[in-house]
Amino acid sequence: MSPVPAHCLNHVGVSVPDINAAIDWYARVFGFVCIAEPVEVHHDGAHFGNLAADICGEGFAAMKIAHMVTGDGVGFELFQFLEPAHERREDTMEYWKNGFFHIAITHSDVDAKVAEIVAAGGRRRSGVWELFPGEGIKVCYCEDPYGNVLEIISHRYEQVLANRNLAAG
């Protein structure tokens, strides 16, 4: 039996209360590029309204959606729900519950990027840690201005974990 080839991460979808402010924030802080400006989608019998209602379920009526792209070509999809209206989670770090936990973004100078996130209205959740002592791989957890959890890490994923026995340490 041959192994299944690795699939590529296509995009990540993130809910925000103000789509235009989020486009500006992610472009300014991370250099993400907006490739499709916000459009409104309504559950009004049109194709995309029907598609969104099928995905979101009962109660969905309207949203705005925009598309950005990261430096390595991964899509970053932003949603602003209009009906029902967007609600901010009270606790953005419910790590004990299933679901997506965070989005990780690579930046070689973690300290500088964390300072930039905070200066731009985000929040620092943790200290800057050396992931494996003595190796120079740094990591810090933050939040965007909307409470979405972001991990800033100094090295690409495969560089961090390749040829590493995590059970040994």
d(CA 35, CA 121): 24
Q: Is the pLDDT of residue 56 over 80?
A: yes
- pLDDT of 7: 84
User: Which structural domain range is residue 140 located in?
Assistant: 100-169
User: ∠112-142-136 over CA atoms, to 5°?
Assistant: 50
For the segment 76-93, the average pLDDT, to the nearest whole number, is 87
- Do 79 and 15 share a structural domain? yes
What does each C-alpha distance from 40 to 14, 19, 64, 83 come to in angstroms?
Answer: 16, 11, 4, 11
Higher pLDDT, 129 or 91: 129
13 located within any domain: yes
Domain boundary among 35, 55, 87: 87
Structure tokens at 141: 């957890």
CATH number, domain of 16, equals 3.10.180.10
pLDDT in tens, 95-114: 777 778 899 999 999 999 99
pLDDT in tens, 125-154: 999 999 999 999 999 999 999 999 999 999
- From 139, 146, 118, 148, select the one nearest 29 (Cα to Cα): 118
Q: Is the pLDDT of residue 162 over 90?
A: no
* CA pseudo-torsion sign 76, 155, 136, 164: positive
Structure tokens at 47: 């194709």
pLDDT band at 42 (very low <50, low <70, confident <90, very high): very high
Q: Which residues contact 86 (CB under 8 A, 6 or more apart)?
A: 15, 16, 17, 80
- Do 168 and 106 share a structural domain? yes
pTM above 0.85, yes or no: yes
Indicate the DSSP class of residue 84: T
Structure tokens at 168: 């040994």
- Do 61 and 18 share a structural domain? yes
d(CA 73, CA 9): 10
Percent of the chain past pLDDT 70, that is, above it, reads 96
Number of domains in the chain: 2
- Do 78 and 32 share a structural domain? yes
2 located within any domain: no
Which amino acid, 74?
V
- Do 135 and 69 share a structural domain? no
Q: Is the pLDDT of residue 169 over 60?
A: no
- pLDDT of 164: 81
